[in-house]
Structure formats: structure tokens, C-alpha cells
Structure 1
Amino acid sequence: MRVEIWSDIACPWCYIGKARFEKGLAAFAHRDEVEVVHRSFELDPHGARGDTRPVIEVLAKKYGRSLDEARAMEEHVAANARAEGLGYRTEGRDHGNTFDVHRLLHHAAARGRRSELLDLAYRANFAEERSVFDPAVLVELAVEAGLDEEEARGVLADGTAYADEVRDDEREAAELGANAVPFFVFDRRYGVSGGQPAELFTEALERAWQDREPHPAGGEAPVRHADGAREVPQA
């Protein structure tokens, strides 16, 4: 069984949702028969590459809140992250376009190191004082993930490298009806949106496992919510 996860490294609920999904997967009896595939999604696809702003300012502008209200929003997210055992800094983080991060993640996938780089990038962005919007930091993370330094530099220097792969992921997300992340798709049959509780992910895995059957000839089954009544708002 395959689970595809659309996410963005700049999305705190993707960071939290990944941890919750992994806990849900650990509780699933057939976890060793599940292939997890991470896919690209940009929260700010129209932002200029290299143009970064403090997260608090971005939140205040996006939601029409005061800076103090934006800080309170960050504290709420931080509490959720810390409850999952994740590090989270509410001050001093930047926000910007993540296209280059996604391109490098596709390069890591081609080298069998995507999971390692993804975890390092999340931790750098949310828990450490390292900006994933700095190419030098991305190269450092790539090396830490076990990638070749010069290859990583070459990918970042060539704006076309893995660009099609990122756009293909984003196009596919749109076709599946995903307009926000994280978005989890189970065997192209069931979808779960948001950083839901671990128990919901286990239930979705169990349902998808029970409902496995050959897809209709000539196409895939439509994606639908695994349990719409159990979805939890993230506000």
C-alpha cells in the first residue's frame, strides 16, 4: 500500500502532521508493507526566490492580525509541536519561497536520501537557527543527509534542475483537489487533510488496507475523505 504526502517545508502543520502520521503508522499492523512517498507543495509559489520575511510579520499580514495576535498563533502551533516531541522556535524564523528546497528534495529522492533531507530541513526551519532559504544552509543540510556537496550545489545553481518534478507534484495535488497541506492520500482512494491525531491516521490506514482491490481498468479510484466526520480543525 502506498501513502503519498503533499507538504511544504515552510508549513508548521506539515511538520506536526508528519510526526503524527508516523505515530499512526507505527500503530498499524501492516506498517512494513506501506510505502510512504513525499510530494511537493508550495505555500507561497508566487513569492520571489530569495525574498524572505519574518514569520510573525507574514502571519499578521496574511490573516489581518496584529503582531501580538500573530505571536499568539505561533505559540498555539508551537504547543502542538512540542506535544509531539518536536522542537519549535516562535521567534527569529524566516518565511519565503520553497521552490529550491523542493528541487533539492527531489534530487535527494533520486539518491535515496529524501527522508533524511526532509527531516533535517524541517528541524532546521522550525527548531534551529538555520534558514532553509539560504543556499549555503541547504548545501550543509544536503551533506548532513549524505548527499554529495558538489552535486547539491549544482542542483541549486541550475534553476531548471528537478523543476518539472516539483511542478508535476503540484499539478497532481490540484487534480486531487488539494488546496492546502499537509494532504495525505492512501492508495489513491482516501484522503486526509491536516495534521490530524495519530489515531485518525491509523484508522485511515486500516480502512485503506481493508478496501484494497484492483483499480478499475483505465484509471484510478477517486480520492475521497477517509472519515470526514473525524477531521479536526487546525485553528
Structure 2
Amino acid sequence: MRVEIWSDIACPWCYIGKARFEKGLAAFAHRDEIEVVHRSFELDPNRAKADTAPVIDMLAKKYGRTLEEARAMEEHVASNARAEGLGYRTEGRDHGNTFDIHRLLHLARAHGRQEELLDLAYRANFAEERSVFDPEVLVELAVEAGLDADEARAVLADEDAYADEVRSDEREAAELGANAVPFFVLDRRYGVSGGQPAEVFTRALEQAWQSRGPAPLATPGAAEAGPACDADGACEVQPQS
């Protein structure tokens, strides 16, 4: 059974949601028979590639908050990340356009290294002092994931490389009605929105497994949606259990 996950490296709830999904998957009896595919979704697709800014400054501007309030917002998200055993730096992180990262993730998928690169990119963006908006950092991450440095540089230098794959993922997300990430699609039958608790993912996997076969995609109602970042780049920042 296939699980497709639409996400963006810039989305903290995608980072947290991936960890929660993996815990939910670990508790699923048929976990070894699940294929996980990561799909592209840009939170800020119209942002210029060279336009990066500190996350705290971006949050203050987006939400009309003071810098102190923006830091508090980040701490709320950080507490959720740390509860999942994830590193999370609230200061010194950048925000920017993630199109190049998504293109490299498609290269990694072609080589069977997508999961490795995604984990490294999340860690670099949220837990380490490495900017994923620096092309040389992206090449370093690609090499750490098992990719060839020259091939990674060639992809970054050619703006058309894997661009169609990224755009195709994003069109498909729109067709499925996904306007926030993370967004999980199970067997093209069930949708789970947001960084839900691990047990929600386990139940969803069990339901999808038990009812495999042709059926329309079903998405959860608003009351069931977990914390997420929407297509305008706004992220839910209140504490979640």
C-alpha cells in the first residue's frame, strides 16, 4: 500500500508530522508492506530565490507581532518538536524559497535516496546551523544522502531540471483539495491533514488497509485536521498535544 506525503522543508509541522507518522507507522502491523512517497508543496512559491530572511523576522512581519511575540510563537512549535525527540532551533534559522530543495528531492527519489535527503534537509533547517537556502549546503546534504556532488550541482544549475516533477506534485495537491501541509494520502482512498498524533496515523493505516480497493479519496473534516502550514505560508503556532 502506498502513502503519499505532501510537505515543504520550510514547514515545521511537516517536520513534526513526519516524526509522528513514522511512530504511527511503526505501530502498524503491516508496516513492511507500506511504500512511502514524498511529494512537493511550496509554502512560498512566489518568493524570489535570493530573498531569504530570519524566521523570527518573517513571523513578526507575517502575523503583525513584535519580535518577542514571534519568538514565543516559535517556542510553542519547538516544544512540540522536542516532545517528539526532534532538535529545533528557534533562533538563527532562515526562511526562503524551497523550489531548489524540492528539485533535489526528486533527483534523490530517482536514485532511491529521497528519504535520506529529506531527513537531512529537515535536520539542517530546524536543528542545525546550516541554511538549506545556500546551494553549497544543498550539495553537501545531497552528498551526505548518497548522491553525486557533480550531479547535484548540475541539477541546481539547470532551473528546468525536475521542475516539471515539482509542478506536477503541486497540481495534484490542488486537485486533491490539499491547501495545507503536511497532507497524507493513504492508498488514494483516505486523507489525513496536519501533524496528527501518532495513534491517528496508526488508525488511518489500519482503516485504509482493511478497505483496500477502488474508492474515492476521503479527507478528514475540519475538526479532525491537525496543525499545519497553509498555502499562504501561515503555520499554526499554538501548542498541540
TM-score tier, shorter chain, comes to over 0.9
TM-score by length of 2: 0.92
Comparing 56-65 and 87-96, the one that deviates more:
56-65
Structure 2 gaps, min length 5: 228-235
Look up the match of 1:42. 42
**Could you tell me how far apart the structure 1 residues matched to 2:226 and 2:153 are?**
40
RMSD: 1.2
Q: Is the 8 A contact 1:53 1:96 kept in 2?
A: yes
Q: Structure 1 vs Structure 2: percent identity of aligned residues?
A: 82
Look up the match of 1:158. 158
**Could you tell me how far apart the structure 2 residues matched to 1:108 and 1:184 are?**
20
Q: Is the 8 A contact 2:71 2:90 kept in 1?
A: yes
SS where residue 181 of structure 2 aligns?
Answer: coil
SS where residue 100 of structure 1 aligns?
Answer: helix
Comparing 223-232 and 5-14, the one that deviates more:
223-232
SS where residue 224 of structure 1 aligns?
Answer: coil
1:170-213 Cα offsets, whole Å, 9 max, x none, are 00000000011000011111111111100000010011111112
Look up the match of 2:63. 63
* Counterpart AA for 2:32: D
Look up the match of 1:198. 198
1:225 paired to 2:219: yes
Look up the match of 2:100. 100
* Counterpart AA for 2:177: G
Equivalent residue runs for 1:1-235 within 5 Å? 1-213=1-213, 215=214, 221-226=215-220, 229-233=223-227, 234=236, 235=238
**Could you tell me how far apart the structure 2 residues matched to 1:154 and 1:231 are?**
39
The Cα shift of 1:50 comes to: 2.0
User: Which consecutive aligned stretches of 4+ in structure 1 deviate over 6 angstroms post-superposition?
Assistant: none
Q: Is the 8 A contact 2:60 2:67 kept in 1?
A: yes
Structure 1 gaps, min length 5: 216-220
- Count of paired positions: 229
TM-score by length of 1: 0.94
Q: Is the 8 A contact 1:87 1:123 kept in 2?
A: yes
